[in-house]
């Protein structure tokens, strides 16, 4: 809209420029012949100077003076003969009208044909601030990847690419790109939070310990980072610490400005949490909702399920080989609970306690953690 206003103003200015000579009173100009006579006078004056400098002989100068004099005479005669030039005021007015009209017609017509008025300016710096969206993401990514292959040190390129990967579900690439950006250009709250989010995506919506560490680093850099706060709350919810999660989400949905995308997301999470609790009050059992998983990834549901199961299975296998890993057990328990496989969770807790020792500090902490998820060991 503003563009059209400016375009209209420009057109108006241009039309006024065409009209200008008609808006002021005509002033009389010297006839062309008078300019000529002035030049001939100058030529006569210069002749004297040239004679003085010896650039022309006296006799040649006299001849030249005669030549110039004849020209002045001829000119004066011609001027006397020719009267005032004819004035065609009406015709001139019509031509002027056509000229003034031509300005908007030609410019708006041609611009309608050639221009792309709806297309905003896209300075690169501004584009890097926001998520690139649009149809040709693949092309975009390919070009950027080619560029980064030539310039692996280009932190900005990696930074552009990382969120794009995450959006497309290429979490592994996204994690690598974020790590690369942080290594090249240093950590910022946004980069760390992005890294954590990609990790959550990779584990199918489970906030893993690595992801939580990334969010913690992000919040160390910027306590108010919405992304990091949201996922921290999600981690609490997934651990079954619903009150802590609710507190954070509540705070976010109340204090965030209206234009923040995280306000709505936090509100949605709150609603989900309430619904899940209600369900649990009814059924007596259900863990944190499946929606959390759905919210995080946008893969095909079957594929996602498969991927998560694969990951959980590999974690389980790892812990069978190397059970002295309380953090790993915690992740496994939380994963089983999120997946709704409570029996296996209980079984895993049993194995963990067997390995760590039920009476050890670590074992007791794990038992307490399992309690928050509503799991007790199968003996």
Partner 1 sequence: MSVELGHFALVLALALALVQSAAPLMGARIGSLPLMRVGEPVAITGFALVAAAFAALVLAYVQSDFSVLNVWENSHSAKPLLFKITGAWGNHEGSMLLWVLILALFGALVAAFGRNLPPTLKANVLAVQGLIASAFLLFILFTSNPFNRLQPAPIEGRDLNPILQDIGLAIHPPLLYLGYVGFSISFSFAVAALIEGRIDAAWARWVRPWTLAAWAFLTGGIAMGSYWAYYELGWGGFWFWDPVENASFLPWLSGTALLHSAIVMEKRSALKIWTVLLAILTFSLSLLGTFLVRSGVLTSVHTFASDPTRGVFILAILVFFIGGALALFAVRAAALAPGGLFHPISREGALVLNNLLLTTAAATVLVGTLYPLLIEALTGEKISVGAPFFNLTFVPLFLPLLVAVPFGPLLAWKRGDLLAAAQRLQIAFAAAALSGIVSYFLMDRASAFAALGLALGLWLIFGALTDLCLKIGIGKVPPSVALGRLAGLPLSMFGTALAHAGLGLTALGVVAVTTLEAESILTMRPGQVAEIGGYSLTFENLRPFTGPNYTEDRAVFAVTGEGGASLGEIVSSKRFYAARGMPTTEAGIRTFGLSQLYVSIGDETASGLVVRIWWKPLVTLIWLGALVMMVGGAVSLFDRRLRVGVPARRKLAVAAAGEGA
Nearer to partner 1, 50 or 291 (CB): 50
166: how many CB neighbours lie within 10 A of its CB? 24
Task: Kindly state the smallest distance separating residue 37's Cβ from partner 1, in Å.
Answer: 8
Task: Kindly state the smallest distance separating residue 77's Cβ from partner 1, in Å.
Answer: 14
Please provide residue 363's backbone torsions phi and psi, each rounded to the nearest 5 degrees: -65, -40
Task: Kindly state the smallest distance separating residue 230's Cβ from partner 1, in Å.
Answer: 28
Nearer to partner 1, 100 or 299 (CB): 100
Task: Kindly state the smallest distance separating residue 102's Cβ from partner 1, in Å.
Answer: 6
- Whole-angstrom Cα distance, residue 299 to residue 345? 25
| Residue 257 near residue 210 (C-beta atoms within 8 A) | no
Task: Kindly state the smallest distance separating residue 152's Cβ from partner 1, in Å.
Answer: 11
The residues near 350 (Cβ < 8 Å, ≥ 6 apart) are: 377, 378, 379
Nearer to partner 1, 156 or 342 (CB): 156
- Whole-angstrom Cα distance, residue 113 to residue 243? 61
Token pair listed for 105? 């017609």
Nearer to partner 1, 87 or 129 (CB): 87
Handedness of CA 217, 223, 224, 226 (dihedral sign): positive
Nearer to partner 1, 150 or 302 (CB): 150
| Residue 70 near residue 43 (C-beta atoms within 8 A) | no
Task: Kindly state the smallest distance separating residue 73's Cβ from partner 1, in Å.
Answer: 13
Nearer to partner 1, 29 or 359 (CB): 29
Calculate the dihedral angle through the C-alpha atoms of 198, 201, 203, 204, rounding to the nearest 10 degrees.
180
Task: Kindly state the smallest distance separating residue 66's Cβ from partner 1, in Å.
Answer: 10
- Whole-angstrom Cα distance, residue 236 to residue 243? 9
Nearer to partner 1, 45 or 320 (CB): 45
- Whole-angstrom Cα distance, residue 296 to residue 153? 30
Which run of H or E residues covers position 183?
Answer: helix 171-185
- Whole-angstrom Cα distance, residue 34 to residue 56? 27
């Amino acid at each position: 809209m503003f563009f059209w206003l400016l375009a209209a103003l420009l057109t108006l200015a241009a039309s006024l420029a065409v009209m200008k000579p008609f808006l002021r009173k005509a002033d009389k100009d010297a006839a062309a012949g008078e300019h000529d006579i002035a030049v001939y006078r100058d030529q006569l004056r210069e002749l004297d100077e040239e004679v003085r400098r010896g650039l022309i002989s006296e006799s040649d100068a006299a001849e030249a003076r005669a030549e110039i004099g004849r020209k002045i005479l001829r000119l004066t005669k011609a001027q006397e003969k020719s009267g005032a030039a004819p004035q065609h005021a009406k015709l001139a007015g019509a031509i002027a009208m056509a000229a003034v009209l031509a300005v908007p017609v030609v410019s708006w017509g041609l611009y309608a044909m050639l221009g792309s008025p709806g297309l905003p300016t896209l300075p690169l710096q501004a584009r890097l601030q926001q998520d690139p969206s649009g149809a040709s993401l693949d092309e975009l990514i390919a070009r950027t990847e080619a560029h980064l292959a030539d310039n692996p040190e280009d932190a900005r390129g990696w930074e552009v690419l990382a969120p794009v990967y995450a959006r497309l579900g290429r979490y592994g690439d996204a994690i690598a790109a974020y790590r690369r950006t942080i290594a090249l250009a240093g950590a910022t709250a946004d980069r760390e939070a992005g890294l954590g989010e990609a990790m959550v995506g990779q584990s199918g919506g489970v906030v893993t310990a690595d992801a939580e560490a990334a969010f913690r680093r992000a919040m160390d850099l910027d306590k108010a980072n919405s992304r990091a706060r949201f996922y921290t709350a999600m981690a609490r919810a997934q651990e079954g610490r619903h009150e802590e999660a609710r507190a954070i989400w509540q705070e976010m949905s109340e204090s965030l400005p209206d234009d923040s995308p995280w306000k709505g997301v936090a509100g949605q999470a709150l609603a989900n949490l309430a619904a899940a609790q209600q369900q649990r009050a009814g059924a007596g059992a259900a863990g944190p909702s499946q929606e959390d998983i759905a919210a995080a990834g946008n893969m095909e549901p079957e594929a996602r399920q498969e991927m998560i199961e694969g990951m959980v299975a590999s974690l389980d296998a790892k812990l069978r080989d190397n059970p002295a890993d309380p953090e790993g057990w915690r992740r496994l328990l939380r994963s089983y609970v999120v997946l709704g496989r409570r029996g296996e969770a209980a079984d895993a807790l049993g194995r963990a306690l067997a390995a760590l020792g039920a009476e050890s500090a670590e074992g007791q902490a794990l038992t307490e953690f399992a309690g928050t998820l509503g799991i007790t060991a199968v003996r």
